[in-house]
Structure 1
Amino acid sequence: MGMSIGFSTHSIPLGLWPKASGGAPVAAQAAEAAPGGWSKAGQPGAPRKASGANGELTQEAVKALEKLKATDREVRAHEAAHLAAAGGIAVSGASFSYERGPDGQQYAVGGEVSIDTSPVPNDPEATARKAEQIRRAALAPANPSGQDISVAAAASQMQAQAQAEAAMTRQKPEGKADAYAASIDGNVLGARIDVTA
């Protein structure tokens, strides 16, 4: 059984992208183009930079690019925190979803780390320890996402159930144990009694 913990952002609203010829936002043209990103007039799917007359990025494109770069850094740090805390329960490295920026480059806007959330068979104490590690991994980033908080809550419940099962296992009688009673005054010395735990 596995579960993913991660971070996701919303795409930059179309209104923040610069306008291309024809008045439509560049991002809207990209959405209509074949997969591959920004479209050039007459060349769907080819990367297109949102640039002004001199070939440099427009002011709006620079702002959008700065926001994408900040999101990329935040997403990568978020997933790195999950991965570091998950340790051996991580099923794989971080995976990311990307958005192409006005400069034609890909930027991470979401990500996840898949972790093993299955209980340890026949070992409730190990399951409780694993659940604690899952909870720590889910809450490792500075700003846990809603999904992270849900995973942490499920891990806390898993831990509580495992601890209860471990306590019941410790209290269960394993059968009768033989014991010998001894007394200092010698009255019961050597007598055999049955003890039930």
Structure 2
Amino acid sequence: MPWGDHEITTPAQTALDLARVLPFVRAVSAVDQAIWSERPGGPLTTLADIRKLLESSAPSRGDARARRVLDFANPLAANVRESQSRVVVVQLGFPMPLIQVRRTLRSGRLAIADLFFEREDHWCEIDGRGKYLSPEFGADRSSAEIVIDEKNRENEIRREVRGFSRWEALEADNPRRIWDILTGDGMPCSRPRP
């Protein structure tokens, strides 16, 4: 496709190329971002378009890997750390979580889970520090007000679910830490601690 004076690959082709060569967690993150349905302006491409390219192209090294990535990809994944966390929890032996689950709390406030284990009724939040420090999130509130509001929100959610876990975005780089957080919060796992 044209881009200025250059020709570049389409988003679908780029996502497929990355799915064929990147390590699984990075490939899923890349594809999730390409197909993200809530992107301002809409997704860059769709799973259907990427699959169509895969099936219509000559067999290539990495096709099996790409199929695994496409089977795991989800257009609801809001950010790379959410995608990474989803991959990590499944690789650790936890069930596949739902993502971006919306729940209206008893107060009428809408809450959205980053990950949600439906059968276990276990809610997960993955927060970067920007949520508490970035002017984008707190233009009219101090960091303390943001933290207090988030704590009150968490308290409301905890009253409505059986389990609740929270980790910082960077903790997704440490699977053992995620295992400890989830199991410490009562989430059962089919595998032992890594």
Scaled by the length of structure 1, the TM-score of the pair is 0.24
Scaled by the length of structure 2, the TM-score of the pair is 0.25
Structure with the higher helix share, 1 or 2: 2
Larger radius of gyration: 1
